[in-house]
Chains A and B, each alone.
Chain A
Amino acid sequence: MGTINIGFLHSLVRKEEKLLLAEFGKHPDVSVVMLDDRELVFDLCTVPPLDAIIERSINHSRALHALRLFDSLGIPCVNSYRVAQICGDKILTAVALRDHGIPQPDLRIAFTEDSALKAIEEIGYPAVLKPVVGSWGRLLSKVNDRDAAETILEHKTVLGSYHHSIFFIQKYIRKQGRDIRAFVVGDECIGAIYRHSDHWITNTARGATAANCPVHPELADLCVRTAVAVGGGVLAIDLFETGEGLLVNEVNYTMEFRNSIDTTGVNIPARVADYVIARARAGSRA
């Protein structure tokens, strides 16, 4: 078998990227080509000699467009442009989940202050306002009453850029101090963590602590079906536990896993590297 050339699309190199590079380095038949998104120039024609690309950019907008460009040149990407497009936009994610019958929190989408206020009142307090594009729990608002709703909607409209006036409103789920982040590689849920926090936002980037979450059949099945719904690949899925079962909250396509390797006992970067190498060998798109 010949050498496999893997393009490693990145910007800043975080702990996750170092771990992935170390795993690729264990394969003597794999050559990694670093692709810093701050230095790339595309001409729509030149096809780089790569068998696959792993996308690890920190910027969603750069990742999205770079993936579209590489995808247009016929290079398999993990994840694909389509997956990045869906997962990077909470509205597109919600539609994909709905289309595949995946349970999710009740939600509304509105485009003006007045209609958003009506939507919040309809869904009931507390409600959660989220930016359609965003992560790390930034700019999330838990709206406890009408006064807060009016204030936040006005601030978003006046002070935010135009995309902050696309209002994504979600029913607040009381999660008893924890939610679940599960990791899917291909057609397998390889591990999961509970994210514990006294704060209603349970991102580890915001100080939540991680503990192992056993992957029971209901969780595994829902996560794999969720991955299929958004196009498959390497994904981190955030879920809420409720009395009526699990709800999928968000799906992340450039997953961060530094706090989850020791916690789950799963060598997540090794599983990801193996998947990317297999995709490169298969030479086909997901």
Chain B
Amino acid sequence: MIHECPVCGAELELGSGLIKGELLECDECGSELEVVSDDPLTLAEAPEAEEDWGQ
């Protein structure tokens, strides 16, 4: 599947099995992207890390 990076417009070749909420990285611009819908597959720039994120 070819999709466009919503940040830089580069073509992204994506595998199957992506799920809603999944994080991806654009090989071209390095942006972190989120799968906001898996049907139809829609990408958006991932949210910025917040203060209480992660461990």
Q: Give Cα A255–Cα B20 distance, bound, in whole angstroms.
A: 21
With contacts A12-B23, A13-B21, A36-B20 taken as known, whether A134 is within 8 angstroms of B34 at the C-beta atoms is no
Partner of B22, one of A18, A205, A256: A18
B20, B34, B51: residue with the most chain A Cβ atoms closer than 10 Å: B51
Q: Give Cα A63–Cα B8 distance, bound, in whole angstroms.
A: 33
Q: Give Cα A61–Cα B51 distance, bound, in whole angstroms.
A: 10
Residues of chain A lying within 8 A (CB to CB) of residue B23? 12-14
Residues of chain B lying within 8 A (CB to CB) of residue A34? 19-21
Report yes or no: B22 in contact with A11, Cβ–Cβ below 8 A.
no
Q: How many A-B residue contacts, CB cutoff 8 Å?
A: 53
Q: Give Cα A21–Cα B22 distance, bound, in whole angstroms.
A: 12
Residues of chain A lying within 8 A (CB to CB) of residue B52? 59-61, 133-135
Q: Chain B 16-55, CB within 8 Å of chain A: the 1/0 string?
A: 0001111100000000001100000000001101111111
Q: How large is the interface on A (under 10, 10 to 19, 20 to 34, 35 or more residues)?
A: 20 to 34
With contacts A13-B21, A36-B20 taken as known, whether A205 is within 8 angstroms of B46 at the C-beta atoms is no
Q: Give Cα A236–Cα B20 distance, bound, in whole angstroms.
A: 27
Partner of B53, one of A10, A18, A21, A58: A58
Decide if the interface of chain B is mainly helix, strand, loop or mixed. loop
Q: Give Cα A102–Cα B52 distance, bound, in whole angstroms.
A: 26
Residues of chain A lying within 8 A (CB to CB) of residue B21? 10-13, 17, 34, 36
Residues of chain A lying within 8 A (CB to CB) of residue B19? 13, 18, 21, 34
Q: Give Cα A194–Cα B23 distance, bound, in whole angstroms.
A: 27
Q: Give Cα A17–Cα B51 distance, bound, in whole angstroms.
A: 20
A254 at interface, CB cutoff 8 A? yes
A80 at interface, CB cutoff 8 A? no
Report yes or no: B55 in contact with A59, Cβ–Cβ below 8 A.
no
Closest chain-B Cβ to A134's Cβ sits at a distance in Å of 7
Report yes or no: A256 in contact with B55, Cβ–Cβ below 8 A.
yes
Report yes or no: B22 in contact with A136, Cβ–Cβ below 8 A.
no
Q: Can you list 22 contacts pairing A with B, beta carbon distance less than 8 Å?
A: A12-B21, A12-B22, A12-B23, A12-B46, A13-B19, A13-B22, A17-B21, A18-B19, A34-B19, A34-B20, A36-B21, A59-B52, A59-B53, A60-B52, A60-B53, A61-B52, A133-B51, A133-B52, A134-B51, A135-B52, A136-B49, A256-B54
Known contacts A134-B51, A136-B53, A136-B55; 11 additional CB pairs below 8 A are A12-B22, A12-B47, A13-B21, A13-B23, A21-B19, A34-B20, A61-B52, A135-B52, A136-B49, A136-B54, A254-B55
Leading 3 A-B pairs by shortest Cβ distance = A252-B55, A60-B52, A13-B21
